[in-house]
Structure 1
Amino acid sequence: MTSHASALPDDIDTLKAMLIAVATQKDELQAEAGQLQGETATLKAELVRMAAINERAEERITNLHMIIKQLERARFGRSSEKLDGDQQAFAFDEVQTALGMIEAELEAARPTGERRPREARPRKAFPAHLERVEIVIEPEAVACACGSCQPVRIGEDVSERLDVTPAKFRVIVTRRPKYGCAQCKEGVSQAPAPGHIVEAGVPSEALLAHVAVSKYADGLPLYRQEGIYARDGVEISRNTMANWMGHVGFHLAPLADRILALIKEGERVYADETTLPTLSPGAGKTKTAWLWTYARDDRTFGGQAPPMVAYRFEDSRGGENVERHLAGYTGLLQVDGWGAYNRLADARRADGALTLAACWSHYPGRSFISSTAAEKLDSGGKVGGVCRHKISDWRKESKSGFGFHGLVWAGSRSACFQNLCSASRFIFRLVAM
């Protein structure tokens, strides 16, 4: 449009058309300016959001670096600074959780059309015994070019996701109707009440099993279970559940005795004991108790019996405990060097002496020679390469395969004497038997 008045047409209709065109162009420019301002605001908001995502990602990456440093310290640091297995597992869990959060956040930050489909990875199949709930999602419309579509199913995509139904309480109402004779008016008939572990109590056997497994197998204390159940409006005090566990323990005692009896029927038994901090009633402190463990596992020897373990709780580590636990057993007992087991190998034992076998993982030495190989020691006490026997070779020489007799520390005579008096003393206490 010209800016000189002389260049404007004299026709009124033409001038009106030009004014309308100018107004339309102005409106278009204003609309375009508004759209650009909206896009600018959107871009600014997106920049702020991406900056926040980046900041959170940087923070998580920093935390991951700290965890990696802890793992490096646990692996290469001094023994006093090393983490135990549970702490290392916790650190790896934290790393995996942080990586999952970063991956999900970055995936959500992408526009819907730009999100990449997740690559198919080989996945272990879910157990066959799990219930399958099928959900069929039909398309809202069927793509068709002919206009008179007759849909035919030609295939399907199937995916499986693991789901869980949270535990929920229910009330079992048991009714026992009473019946009497309408004619004679004599006698009342009623089914007897079923027996329960907690007589006249509220818990079903399923609830008792749930509480017991949560406490003893899953490590969930009763006070935490009390809070979990309270969320469902079910008030069960920890003292009540503790009383229930006492009833459960009483009724499971025969099963525990049966397991120990089956263990003692085996040719060999593995035994060990460990400390167990226990509350001392009235003192408000803990005392040291002992948990004795007896295991049987014949699978490596071609046995068909299933592996089993029995535990016995005692207040002491004395030999009278293991003697009472293993009464009647005269087979082979594999233990460490604790002296409480020595009385079991005494010929004066009422049930007869049993055979004690050492646990190689407890032995601090690294080189062994058998009694036959000991004869090949030269006058200086040095051991030739032919005398260093593997444990498997030593077992072949021994008829029993587990005896201690003739076990000699390999090394010079002076070193042999020192080691026998210190590191190997606990094994050679059993040689004299």
Structure 2
Amino acid sequence: MAKKSIDQVDVAGKTVLMRVDFNVPLDDQQNITDDRRIRMALPSIKSVIDRGGKLILMSHLGRPTGDASDVEKFSLAPVAKRLGELLDRPVAFAADTVGSDATKKAKQLADGGVLVLENLRFNDGEKKGDAEFAGKLAALADAYCNDAFGTCHRNDASMVAVPQAMAGKPRVVGHLVAKEIEYLSDAIGNPKRPFIAILGGAKVSDKINVINNLLGICDAVMIGGAMAYTFSLAQGGSVGESLVEKDKVDLAKQLIEKGGDKLVLPVDTYCGDDFGDPAGCNKEVVPAGEIRDGFEGMDIGPKTSELYAEKLATAKTIVWNGPMGVFEKPPFDAGTKAVAQAVADSDSISIIGGGDSAAAVDQMGFADQVSHVSTGGGASLAMLEGKAFAAVDLLDEA
């Protein structure tokens, strides 16, 4: 799946249209509260402008509904300002995507110049994958670069229709997407063994296809998070007030039967009787499937943490997607911490699959001790399912 990189394109004097993921969090005053996604795009951005290329950046931000207030609430103007600060050079901003302002400012770009287009989702054509909208974006540049892994599983115009419209011109990956493909596709296609997957989160339904696919590839698939209680119910256990998907119990039974010894479920559970007051509520550790009425599972228990850590110590490849419990609320962060520590301590290629698991390892200080932290939760899940990505497949081969 190796694709041609932006570094392999002669960009001097040419205009590159780069899809980035600048979907950053903003406060009520439109101040950026976490600029990590902007900083992570800097290597690809600098690859173009440091070699004399002209760069047009496009991204979505949030979920605008078409309301008039969305223009200020979801504008990429604060992103353009922050990017200018990080690059220590002027960054132009267009008040539209394919209108007169974007067209004018794209033509005015000097070599080494940067232009940020307004939020792609302000145009209905983006989510619809509209060819006409894509054609107008494509006309702005001489080359296309995809550096937005977080949206690679989507068929939005900027991801698929734009590179289709630029057939015959260079269509390449940026540094972020290249790294994601390298780690995730290698983990699935050619893993060093033992290969262990850790899957957490709330719903079995969110991870059905991932579990199915990984059971056929991995040496072990370890389950945590609230979805473990649906598996408990499938085994005839008591789950108290725990979050479960009763309509997915038959599916959980099928996965248990298919997985056999490969599917590793918690052996104990850390429970509480008040989700809203995790520190002050009554707490107890019980064997898996023995949660009392009035209590709900909040985390894997200490014996499960120990069991999972022992297994992870033997792994050569680890993929982790989803926390083990309510990691945002101590003391129910213990299971996620124990797993994060075990992953960090292991002699393995360790891949954290975005989303809450990425937030957890970052928050707990382990991000620098794993091989790769994915930038896209939904995209990394889709890749772990074995899905093909049209947004990547149509790019130039290395």
Query: Which TM-score bucket, shorter chain as reference?
Result: under 0.3
TM-score (norm 2): 0.26
More strand by share: 2
The structure with the larger Rg is 1
State TM-score, norm by structure 1.
Answer: 0.24
Q: More relative contact order in 1 or in 2 (CA 8 Å, sep 6+)?
A: 2
